[in-house]
C-alpha cells in the first residue's frame, strides 16, 4: 500500500526540463518537477513514482535506534579500526544545542533528533565524532587525528555550522537545510548534476519515456 505524503503535492512543469524528473520537500509540501510535455497520465505516473522514491530515501535517513547502533559499529570498524565499541547508540531529544553526546564511563552515545533527516554523510560524521570521544574525551590533536580518515569531516562540520547559523537567525530548520543548496527549481535542465546526498529524488527518463 502506498504511503501518503506528509502534506500537499505541488507539480511544477518546466519547458527547460527535458530528460529528468525530480522531487523534494519544501516545508510540508512535496514538490515534483516534470517536463512540460508530460500528459496528465504521465504526470500521475511520475508523481506516484517520485513520491514513493523520496519517502524511501527519507526512511533511510531516519534510522531506528537499532539501525543507528549498527551504523555506528560499521563506522567504528571502517574508520577507527573497531576500537570504539559503544554499549548503546540512541536518538535523544534532550541534547539542547548539541548534535550528540557520549558517556565514556558506560559507553553510551546519544544523537540529537535534530540530526534526523540530515544527509547521511552528516549523520556519519556526528556518529564518528561521538565514537572518537569514547577514545579521546577532549578536542585536542589526538581527537582530530582519529577523525582524519573520514573524508567528509570538513564538509559535515560546515553543513552543521550552516544549520546552526540559520537556526540562530530564525531561518532554516534542520529538515530544510538537509536539502543543502542543490535542490532543483523550475529552471533545472537535464545537464544539472544533483548531489547524491541531498534529500532529492531524481530519475533520468529513458527513451521509452519520451
The span from the CA of 89 to the CA of 111, in Å, is 7
Q: Which CATH number fits the domain 65-168, given the four candidates 1.10.3210.10, 3.40.640.10, 3.40.50.720, 3.30.2010.10?
A: 3.30.2010.10
Q: Give the model confidence (pLDDT) of 152-182 as tens digits.
A: 999 999 999 999 988 887 754 444 333 322 3
Counting Cβ atoms within 10 Å, is residue 31 exposed (0-12), middle (13-18) or buried (19+)?
Answer: buried
Rounded to whole angstroms, the Cα distance separating 25 from 7 reads 9
Q: What is the pLDDT of residues 32-79, one digit of tens each?
A: 999 999 999 999 999 999 998 888 777 766 788 998 999 999 999 999
Interaxial angle between packed helices 120-135 and 153-168, expressed in degrees from 0 to 180 and rounded to the nearest 10? 110
Within 13 Å, how many C-alpha atoms sit on residue 109's CB side? 29
Mean pLDDT of 192-204: 41
pTM of the model: 0.60
**What residues pair up with 12 in beta bridges, in sequence order?**
33
Cell matching residue 203: 530519475
**Structural contact between residues 192 and 10, judged by C-beta atoms closer than 8 angstroms:** no
Give the residue range(s) of CATH 3.30.2010.10 domains in the chain: 65-168
E-strand ranges in 27-180 read: 29-35, 88-92, 100-103, 108-112
| Contact predicate 100/90, CB 8 Å | no
Amino acid at each position: 500500500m502506498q504511503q501518503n505524503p506528509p502534506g500537499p503535492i505541488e507539480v511544477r512543469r518546466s519547458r527547460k526540463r527535458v530528460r529528468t524528473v525530480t522531487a523534494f520537500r519544501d516545508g510540508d509540501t512535496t514538490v515534483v518537477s516534470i517536463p512540460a510535455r508530460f500528459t496528465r497520465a504521465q504526470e500521475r505516473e511520475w508523481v506516484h513514482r517520485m513520491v514513493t522514491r523520496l519517502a524511501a530515501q527519507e526512511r533511510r535517513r531516519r534510522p531506528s535506534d537499532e539501525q543507528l547502533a549498527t551504523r555506528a559499529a560499521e563506522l567504528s570498524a571502517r574508520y577507527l579500526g573497531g576500537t570504539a565499541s559503544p554499549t548503546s547508540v540512541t536518538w535523544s531529544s534532550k541534547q539542547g544545542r548539541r548534535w550528540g553526546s557520549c558517556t565514556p564511563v558506560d559507553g553510551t552515545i546519544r544523537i540529537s533528533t535534530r540530526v534526523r533527516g540530515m544527509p547521511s554523510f552528516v549523520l556519519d560524521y556526528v556518529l564518528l565524532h561521538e565514537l572518537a570521544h569514547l577514545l579521546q574525551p577532549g578536542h585536542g590533536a589526538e581527537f582530530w587525528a582519529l577523525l582524519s580518515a573520514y573524508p567528509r569531516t570538513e564538509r559535515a562540520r560546515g553543513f552543521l555550522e550552516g544549520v546552526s547559523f540559520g537556526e540562530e537567525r530564525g531561518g532554516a530548520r534542520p529538515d530544510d537545510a538537509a536539502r543543502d543548496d542543490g535542490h532543483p527549481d523550475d529552471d533545472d535542465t537535464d545537464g544539472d548534476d544533483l548531489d547524491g546526498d541531498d534529500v532529492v529524488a531524481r530519475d533520468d527518463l529513458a527513451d521509452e519515456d519520451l
